[in-house]
Structure 1
């Protein structure tokens, strides 16, 4: 008889396999394996295998042993395993599973402590000077976050936007955090409101930045002053001409 023990992690469930094997004393050697599977969701599986084929498993819900006889297995397994108290021992294995899982979880926590998390900072700005109706790029700069995974989403006037959106690679900072850029291609219009929302493990709630285009309208001052000056100029010429004409007639 030789013992074998292994453990594996898959789909967030921890599985412990405890296998005991031996060869039956017959003309042809065979292998019988006893398997106990312990999962993080508190379920336990117990089964026997004969030459890699299951011959029985324990159904804890029905509180019974279920036999599956392979085609080449000529002996009734219920008779072979009647003295082994399969179900009673399976209950003991189930209790042992709970203890083993608690120990392994503690060991895992000691070996791999929880990673530190740094929340991101974000700012929102246009790439070029904003002009009405002229295509531009809006940049959402996200900085100083760890671990290097974020989700960035955009809205225009409170509606989700996906067209023209891109997310860059993660670039390391000197303090072992990361930064990245997300961009949105857009054409500025009066009254439009844009937002960039960042989601990260270190944030209790999504972080949103809002931006609204501002347009500089040309001043009317110089044109008004020019028009007023030109009018006064013409008025001065007219007054001067009137006085000249009146003086000329006076001398007559």
Structure 2
């Protein structure tokens, strides 16, 4: 068991990580990381990573394990932790983590907690075509602490349908990232925006999606057609004069 405290400015965060390795039937070694993160506000994250990819996390509100990868993978994620009291241990480690966090916060109560402002980008999941359903993705990254608020607008009006917000995920630098998506059907002149609010921002951070649709002009085809006709006419006239010259000879 390894107990990691972040630097002095982030003493409100305690991360507990347990590393262990095992071999599947293929005799290939794999790495499993047990991650527990908690904050003085009571927020707790418990998850397992398999070869650097998250495979499950604990939903404390519903008191259940949530798998974030398909169960049909080989090896089956549910078999990786077979025989372990995963849910019970999660609750125990949650209490331990919060206790350590409270102690660390008390020791450093006079130090301000570091905050990192988020960055965001807004893009479509698929190539945009008029009238074809698509998804807008608002990717928010490098923020701390992990509490953010994401909102959407369409043509300046709030949007409440077709939205989703992922859990926040930890980065290696102890900041976090999160995704928000909006299902939409592209129409001309529609303007969408994604706005992020966070403690470290002096004002909300807004990204605008305003796609410019281009329509093919018939002019190139007409010009091409005229050029082809003139070319054929020139060819016919040329053949005519060549034949006429030979006839005179």
Give TM-score scaled by structure 1 length. Answer: 0.49
Q: Which has the higher contact order (CA 8 A, sep 6+)?
A: 2
Give TM-score scaled by structure 2 length. Answer: 0.49
Larger Rg: 1
